[in-house]
Chain A
Amino acid sequence: MKEKLSKIRLEALEQIASPDANLEEIKIKYLGKKGELTAVLRGMGALTAEERPVVGQLANEVRESIETALAEKMKELQAKALDARLTAEKLDVTMPGSPAPVGHIHPLTRAQRELEDIFIGMGFSIAEGPEVELDYYNFQALNIPENHPARDTQDTFYITDNILLRSQTSPVQVRVMEQTKPPIRIISPGRVYRSDALDATHSPLFHQLEGLVIDKGITMGDLKGTLEVFAKKMFGEETKIRFRPHHFPFTEPSAEVDVSCFVCGVKGCRLCKGEGWIEILGAGMVHPFVLSNCGIDPEEYSGFAFGLGIERITMARYGIDDIRLFYENDERFLEQF
């Protein structure tokens, strides 16, 4: 009987190991109810009491070894099958992806949002106002009376004698100052209009972003500090700024503000035309006339204002050399942003 069991084990393991083994059949043949091992066990009644436990133990060992061999073989076959499937499923990863819809934010909006977020981080809110504006808000309230020579620098589109297309977003500042008590900390981004013929560097419509801060004890140093933070955030931590004296009717003192060229440092390159600096801002301390005009006491409060052209910054930022591209909206241009 022992020999029989050993033979069964040998045969079974041989069959399991064969490459074309049918595991289910083998299982039934040896371990099934009518299987060979079962048949042997049934014949155990004929054995002596001493032999029985010995043979029984051997039979169990044989069963276990067949079961283990079956399980291992099963695992091996499954792994092989998975390998085969994965091999068959191989894709050409160099083929293009299926097009997913993707749109692009306009570069001017992209730059504007970035500028807005920098100032929002410094506690500024965003103020808006009409583009078709009263002469009063665009000029007179800003210390530019009728026939003032400063009007020449901003050739303005007029609707009637006292209604115009705003030539700057400063009227928004005046409207805010009229309606709000200090502290005031706003930026006013938006469209402005000047009667310049369209060419590579001029557009009769462009975007400005102006800022205004009014509070007690605001200094010209604060203006410089605020613009320095802005310049570093916008153009990189290495950026420096430079103030040059200038004149704007609505600020006093006034300054033109340059940033160190973010391409070359201050060495001079094509972008900065060899200057090392790029003019990007006009700024100054709000003129006391403007404050008192808006009902704010210049003895008690002071403040600063600044303004920049969004197109100019966007062009410098992305190396765009023609302002008309912004308004042509060629898909091949838009999809680069």
Chain B
Amino acid sequence: MLCSMGELKLTTHECPGKEENGILILDEDCADRLGDDIRDVLMLRDTTVEFEITSNRPDCLSVIGLARETAVSFDRPLTVKAPVVKGVGDGDKIDNYLRVGISAPDLCYRYCARVVKNVKIAPSPLWMRMRLRASGVRPINNIVDITNYVMLEYGQPMHAFDYKMLDGAEIDVRRAGDGEAFKSLDDVDHTLDSSMLVIADAKKACALAGVMGGANSEITENTATVVFESACFNGASVRVTAKKNGMRTESSARYEKGLDPENCMPGLERACELVELLGAGEVVDGIIDVYPTKAEQTVLPFTPDRYNEFLGMNIPHEHMLATLTGLGCRVEDGKIYVPSFRADLGCMNDIAEEVCRIYGYDKIEASYMNAETTLGGRNDKQIFEVNTESALVGMGLSQIHTFSFISPKYYDKIRMPADSALRRSVVISNPLGEDTSVMRTTALPSMMETLARNSNFNNENVRLFEIASIYLPHEAANELPDEKKVLTLGAYGNTDFYAMKGVCENILSLAGIKGVTYTACTDNASYHPGRCAKILTESGELLGVFGQAHPLMAENYDMSMPVYIAELAFDEIYAAANTKKSYKPLPKYPATTRDFSFVCDEGMEVGAIEGVMAKAGGKLVENVALFDIYRGPQLGEGKKSVSLRVTLRASDRTLTVEEADKVTKKILNDLKFKMGLELRN
């Protein structure tokens, strides 16, 4: 089969030859290589090594930086040739061409420039194009390729302006005007503001400093004179500018990490050296170097014993010295003079890391902390949470984890009233999507979603719980919201209201909360108005609500079967919990029981009957328990028969029949006068 260059992802930039009608015509000098492997002819056998460079090491975003690391790692000498520029020597000077000023020295630390005249724009040589391509840079022409080549070799981003497009023979590094228009090299229009730095001539912005050049001064086939820029800009400023304009470039990615101002000059000289090497033009004598404030060199004490102590190692001092020297530091008289390209070295820890990583992290000896003993563990609330989880699992519920962010539409799905305070959520300003755009103020929608999903999967008899946070915003936007833990239960299938109530009762009982009351709740729109209860403490604090999901809510989740849910205020339950256990002596005297059966209206609450009975019986009543509910035709429509057993006991004696009868009489009396109930015949 034949394939075109395009199919091989090649362009004529990378290959010696040209393309005609989709066919690659090799250059004539390839003629004698007939029969050779095409990969050798096209020089496609290069090996590319990829490095992951951490953000603190912009010096390693260069061939020289990596060579330095390699030399130290393998204990080999490093040789870096200083570039040599011959110059034209025709008496022409850069001052005849250009003046440079820095109006924003806080954002531009140094600006160096040289001028090249009689430029001959052409493709760069194959070796340069191949190296650029291997580094992921698209070759353009000799001048542009030189700037990219220097960036890769020295880590110094460069820019080339077409001199004739610069108005007024001057460059000013200044903040952009608010609303200033700028068209970048890639023909995109931008509107700038005063936080951004531009390279401007007398009239207009010609480059967005450190990010991208302008279309107005781009190098073209007709460019005759070039200004090379090699500068150092404030990293944060470049980062913000690139971000605001939506164009992160190779250049901005380097600048934003903080570059070395001392690297501007070698980079510029190397570019000019390459111009001469490639015969791309004549380098005009003279260099412009505006360098308002030179940073002071970092000097740190050389404390090898301290490094070893801190690392828990025993690295020989000579090894440390060799490492630091190899990395470009000068160590003299107990002091380390840090090179300007290592701005990341600023304290003892930094030096300790350098000597340790070159010596080898694998040589760190594992040791056990020789420190004060601490008593670890969970606090009471964390223990309570773990215990609650275990109890729920024991009761047959499975734990779920759901996202903390939801769609604001979910409040509608659970039929939350339009004026509910819970509709005010913490809003994410940059959400992934509407579905995950607000922090939930209730975990109910997530539970409903999960139940619905399980129902779609045809899972029968699903019983779930989640202990998770809800996020309740404050009035003031700059305050952090309250984060409260809630326990949400959900079930469908082989279950009912009383099964859900049983789980709630167990949780409260395990928490040791006594005197809880359950009152019917008819006005919560998420719940069936006749099958919903509020859980209140003795003092009337709300601990939760549970019941059957309102059929309309269930319908919003495409569930037609009864669904049971509970929303418990976990923090409040913990606050009310009494987990301290104490022993109460077992009864020494037997109990007496009396059974009561009444026929009453369907609407009468068993809880109310129990309450009256317990109160009437006084302190001899140990327990009142429902043991049967009966409905049948002989009772009549809307009636039910309720049977309760009262357990009576005294702690200091066996109750006599007379005593028990007396209490029974009192109970019957109260039931008759307070509730109109009489024993069933």
Q: Interface on A for B, CB 8 Å cutoff?
A: 100-106, 108-109, 113, 116, 119-126, 130-134, 145-150, 152-153, 157-160, 162-163, 165, 183, 185, 191, 193, 195, 197-198, 204-205, 213, 215-222, 224-226, 228, 242-247, 249, 252-255, 285, 287-289, 302, 326-332, 334-335
Q: Can you list, as one digit per residue, whether each of B334-362 has a CB less than 8 Å from chain A (1) or not (0)? A: 00000000000001111011001100011
Contacts of A245 on B, CB cut-off 8 Å?
353, 357, 361
CA distance A37 to B49 in the complex (A): 115
Is B389 an interface residue when CB atoms closer than 8 A count as contact?
yes
CA distance A47 to B581 in the complex (A): 82
Q: Can you list, as one digit per residue, whether each of B386-405 has a CB less than 8 Å from chain A (1) or not (0)? A: 10011011111111111111
- Cβ–Cβ contact B311 & A220, under 8 A: yes
- Cβ–Cβ contact A146 & B353, under 8 A: no
- Cβ–Cβ contact B312 & A219, under 8 A: yes
Which of B376, B389, B392, B439 is close to A123, meaning CB atoms less than 8 Å apart?
B376
- Cβ–Cβ contact B399 & A334, under 8 A: yes
CA distance A310 to B24 in the complex (A): 54
Jot down 14 A-B pairs with beta carbons below 8 A, ordered by A: A102-B396, A103-B397, A103-B465, A106-B399, A106-B400, A123-B373, A145-B236, A147-B239, A219-B309, A221-B313, A221-B365, A249-B56, A253-B349, A331-B454
- Cβ–Cβ contact B483 & A253, under 8 A: no
- Cβ–Cβ contact A159 & B382, under 8 A: no
- Cβ–Cβ contact A330 & B353, under 8 A: no
Is B375 an interface residue when CB atoms closer than 8 A count as contact?
yes
CA distance A226 to B236 in the complex (A): 37
CA distance A153 to B54 in the complex (A): 10
CA distance A219 to B291 in the complex (A): 42
Give the segment of B205-213, B426-434, B533-541, B657-665 that binds chain A: B426-434
Q: A247-B55, A327-B401 are in contact. Are A219 and B310 (CB under 8 A)?
A: yes
Q: Which residue on A lies nearest to B256, using beta carbons? A: A149
- Cβ–Cβ contact A288 & B361, under 8 A: no
- Cβ–Cβ contact B480 & A130, under 8 A: yes
Q: A126-B379, A224-B367 are in contact. Are A244 and B401 (CB under 8 A)?
A: no
CA distance A126 to B376 in the complex (A): 8
Q: A123-B374, A331-B459 are in contact. Are A149 and B428 (CB under 8 A)?
A: no
- Cβ–Cβ contact A253 & B426, under 8 A: no
Q: Can you list, as one digit per residue, whether each of B427-465 has a CB less than 8 Å from chain A (1) or not (0)? A: 111111000100100000000001001100101001111
Q: A205-B404, A247-B57, A329-B450 are in contact. Are A219 and B393 (CB under 8 A)?
A: no
- Cβ–Cβ contact A330 & B454, under 8 A: yes
- Cβ–Cβ contact A228 & B366, under 8 A: yes
Is B79 an interface residue when CB atoms closer than 8 A count as contact?
no
Contacts of A133 on B, CB cut-off 8 Å?
480
- Cβ–Cβ contact A195 & B368, under 8 A: no
Is B481 an interface residue when CB atoms closer than 8 A count as contact?
yes
Contacts of B104 on A, CB cut-off 8 Å?
none
Closest chain A CB from B491 CB (angstroms):
11
How big is the B interface, by class?
35 or more
Is B364 an interface residue when CB atoms closer than 8 A count as contact?
yes
Is B371 an interface residue when CB atoms closer than 8 A count as contact?
yes
CA distance A334 to B465 in the complex (A): 12
Q: A221-B312, A253-B356, A331-B454 are in contact. Are A185 and B376 (CB under 8 A)?
A: yes
- Cβ–Cβ contact B374 & A332, under 8 A: no
Given contacts A106-B400, A121-B376, A222-B369, 8 further A-B contacts (CB under 8 A): A105-B393, A123-B374, A191-B404, A195-B430, A221-B366, A254-B353, A255-B361, A329-B464
- Cβ–Cβ contact A185 & B374, under 8 A: yes
Q: Which residue on A lies nearest to B390, using beta carbons? A: A105
Is B377 an interface residue when CB atoms closer than 8 A count as contact?
yes
Q: Which 10 interchain pairs have the tightest Cβ spacing?
A: A101-B396, A221-B312, A219-B312, A253-B353, A247-B54, A147-B236, A221-B367, A243-B361, A329-B400, A252-B349
Q: Which residue on B lies nearest to A248, using beta carbons? A: B54
- Cβ–Cβ contact B401 & A106, under 8 A: yes
Q: Which residue on B lies nearest to A214, using beta carbons? A: B371
- Cβ–Cβ contact A215 & B367, under 8 A: no
Q: Which residue on B lies nearest to A255, using beta carbons? A: B361
- Cβ–Cβ contact A225 & B400, under 8 A: no
- Cβ–Cβ contact A163 & B478, under 8 A: yes
Taking CB atoms and an 8 Å cut-off, the chain B residues in 38-63 that contact chain A are: 54-57
Q: Which residue on A lies nearest to B464, using beta carbons? A: A329
Contacts of A252 on B, CB cut-off 8 Å?
347, 349-350, 352-353
Which of B367, B405, B450, B481 is close to A222, meaning CB atoms less than 8 Å apart?
B367
Closest chain A CB from B427 CB (angstroms):
7
CA distance A183 to B375 in the complex (A): 11
- Cβ–Cβ contact A225 & B483, under 8 A: no
Q: Which residue on B lies nearest to A249, using beta carbons? A: B56
Contacts of A331 on B, CB cut-off 8 Å?
398, 454, 457, 459, 462, 464
Closest chain B CB from A253 CB (angstroms):
3
Contacts of A103 on B, CB cut-off 8 Å?
392-399, 463, 465
- Cβ–Cβ contact B367 & A219, under 8 A: yes
Q: A149-B55, A253-B357 are in contact. Are A108 and B457 (CB under 8 A)?
A: no
Q: Which residue on A lies nearest to B348, using beta carbons? A: A288
- Cβ–Cβ contact B376 & A226, under 8 A: no
Contacts of B356 on A, CB cut-off 8 Å?
220, 253
Q: Which residue on A lies nearest to B353, using beta carbons? A: A253
Closest chain B CB from A221 CB (angstroms):
3
Is B378 an interface residue when CB atoms closer than 8 A count as contact?
yes
Contacts of B312 on A, CB cut-off 8 Å?
219-222
CA distance A119 to B235 in the complex (A): 40
Which of A105, A108, A221, A244 is close to B311, meaning CB atoms less than 8 Å apart?
A221
Is B477 an interface residue when CB atoms closer than 8 A count as contact?
yes
- Cβ–Cβ contact A160 & B364, under 8 A: no
- Cβ–Cβ contact A288 & B347, under 8 A: yes
- Cβ–Cβ contact A157 & B430, under 8 A: yes
Q: Which residue on A lies nearest to B400, using beta carbons? A: A329
Closest chain A CB from B144 CB (angstroms):
26
CA distance A273 to B263 in the complex (A): 41
- Cβ–Cβ contact B457 & A332, under 8 A: yes
- Cβ–Cβ contact B480 & A146, under 8 A: no
Is B149 an interface residue when CB atoms closer than 8 A count as contact?
no
Is B204 an interface residue when CB atoms closer than 8 A count as contact?
no
Q: A220-B356, A222-B369, A247-B54 are in contact. Are A125 and B236 (CB under 8 A)?
A: no
Contacts of B5 on A, CB cut-off 8 Å?
none
Contacts of B30 on A, CB cut-off 8 Å?
none
Contacts of B478 on A, CB cut-off 8 Å?
160, 162-163
Which of B313, B392, B432, B453 is close to A204, meaning CB atoms less than 8 Å apart?
B432
- Cβ–Cβ contact A243 & B382, under 8 A: no
Q: Which residue on A lies nearest to B433, using beta carbons? A: A197
Q: A106-B401, A221-B311, A221-B313 are in contact. Are A226 and B361 (CB under 8 A)?
A: no
Which of B239, B377, B401, B464 is close to A149, meaning CB atoms less than 8 Å apart?
B239
CA distance A242 to B19 in the complex (A): 51
CA distance A161 to B356 in the complex (A): 39
Is B223 an interface residue when CB atoms closer than 8 A count as contact?
no
Contacts of B426 on A, CB cut-off 8 Å?
132, 159
Is B469 an interface residue when CB atoms closer than 8 A count as contact?
yes
Contacts of B349 on A, CB cut-off 8 Å?
252-253, 285, 287-288
Q: Which residue on A lies nearest to B431, using beta carbons? A: A157
- Cβ–Cβ contact A253 & B352, under 8 A: yes
Is B372 an interface residue when CB atoms closer than 8 A count as contact?
yes
CA distance A213 to B367 in the complex (A): 14
Is B634 an interface residue when CB atoms closer than 8 A count as contact?
no
- Cβ–Cβ contact A215 & B369, under 8 A: yes
Is B138 an interface residue when CB atoms closer than 8 A count as contact?
no
Q: Can you list, as one digit per residue, whether each of B506-528 has a CB less than 8 Å from chain A (1) or not (0)? A: 00000000000000000000000
Closest chain A CB from B506 CB (angstroms):
11
CA distance A244 to B92 in the complex (A): 54
Give the residue among B362, B390, B401 with the most A Cβ atoms within 10 A. Answer: B401
Q: Which residue on A lies nearest to B358, using beta carbons? A: A245
CA distance A244 to B54 in the complex (A): 13
- Cβ–Cβ contact B371 & A217, under 8 A: yes
- Cβ–Cβ contact A302 & B55, under 8 A: no
CA distance A247 to B365 in the complex (A): 21
Is B257 an interface residue when CB atoms closer than 8 A count as contact?
yes
